[in-house]
Amino acid sequence: MENAIQFAYVVSAALFIFGLKQLGSPDTARRGNMISSIGMLVAVVAALLSQGIDYTWILIGVAIGGVVGALAARLVEMTSMPEMVALFNGSGGIASLLVGAAALDPENNGTFTLVTIVLSILIGGLTFTGSLVAYGKLSEKISSAPLMFVGQQVVNGAIVVGILGSAVMFCMNPADPTWLYVVIGLSLLFGIMAVIPIGGADMPVVISLLNSYSGLAACAAGFAVNNNILIVAGSLVGAAGIILTQIMCKAMNRSLSNVLFSGFGSGKQDTT
């Protein structure tokens, strides 16, 4: 049975690759999305066929998430689709964070697994809050103007150092969850801090980049739970998302760093 499940994952990976390829050209795009969704169905059914699974809670979780997702996708206004994608992306990010946290087993995890758990929590967390801020800016629930304050770069630098430090501390003594909570908190904070200085008009590029991150988070979660299909699909999305972000920047005649740090640039122009 285990072999059959692994082969089903191979089929599903092939469907994702084929689907992504077809999504890239207008004539086949809709079929490509369909093929990719069949790939997802194959992977989920295969995962459910693992032996000794308790279905009750899985089905409850899938039912709740499925209904919420379907209603959101059906009811959203045509003009509000990009921010809806941001919300979906955010829920993918928090899912990776939760998988990373749930996979933690201090007695049995090796260092490699611990590092991948921290990565899936870190990337998943910043994807989650970053996507929420992107959603807020696009839907005008928060000001879409770049939000700047004095010493912002210093604060961001301190957060990055804090994340790295607490991640190392956690990997050295995984039995104590305190450092893990610090990593979670700082990752969530970092997602907010990374997106608030960017203007609302640049949000599509930011969402594309965050989409790439959520792929990488899924990939890290795949390493944490030792699952091939998460690694394949996650890294496909991660790489495709980065390239797509680049293409979107090029279409606007700008560089990625120009978009990400545009707020800082405009702040400097204002002061001089």
Partner 1 sequence: MVPAEVFLTFILLLSIFLGFELINKVPATLHTPLMSGANAISGITLVGAVGLVGAVDDPDLSKWLGVAAVAFASINVVGGYLVTDRMLAMFKKKEG
Residue from 23, 142, 160, 256 touching partner 1 (CB under 8 A): that is 23
Q: Closest approach of Cβ 152 to partner 1, in Å?
A: 27
Q: Which residue's CB is nearer to partner 1, number 84 or number 196?
A: 84
**Residues 93-122 within binding reach of partner 1 (CB under 8 A):** 94-96, 98-99, 101-105, 112
Q: Closest approach of Cβ 257 to partner 1, in Å?
A: 19
- Burial environment of residue 167 by CB neighbours within 10 A (0 to 12, 13 to 18, 19 or more): buried
**Residues 179-238 within binding reach of partner 1 (CB under 8 A):** 204, 207-208, 211, 214-215, 217-219, 221-238
Q: Which residue's CB is nearer to partner 1, number 3 or number 271?
A: 3
**Residues 54-73 within binding reach of partner 1 (CB under 8 A):** 54, 57-58, 60-62, 64-66, 68-70, 72-73
Q: Which stretch binds partner 1 (CB under 8 A): 53-61, 133-141, 149-157, 194-202?
A: 53-61
Residue from 11, 14, 33, 182 touching partner 1 (CB under 8 A): that is 33
Residue from 4, 6, 7, 53 touching partner 1 (CB under 8 A): that is 53
Nearest to 128 by CA among 177, 88, 169, 182: 88
Q: Closest approach of Cβ 268 to partner 1, in Å?
A: 29
With tokens 């979107």, the residue in question is 248
Which residues does 131 contact at the CB level (< 8 Å), separation at least 6?
Answer: 86, 87, 89, 90, 93, 191, 207, 210, 214
**What are φ and ψ of residue 148, in 5° steps?**
-125, 150
Phi-psi region of 54 (alpha: psi -120 to 50; beta: other; left: phi over 0): beta
**Residues 149-168 within binding reach of partner 1 (CB under 8 A):** none
Residue from 91, 109, 139, 266 touching partner 1 (CB under 8 A): that is 91
Residue from 158, 243, 255, 268 touching partner 1 (CB under 8 A): that is 243
The C-alpha atoms of residue 113 and residue 159 are separated, in whole angstroms, by 24
For every residue of 182-239, DSSP letters joined together read HHHHHHHHHHHHHHTTS-GGGHHHHHHHHHHHHHHHHHHHHHHHT-HHHHHHHHHHHH
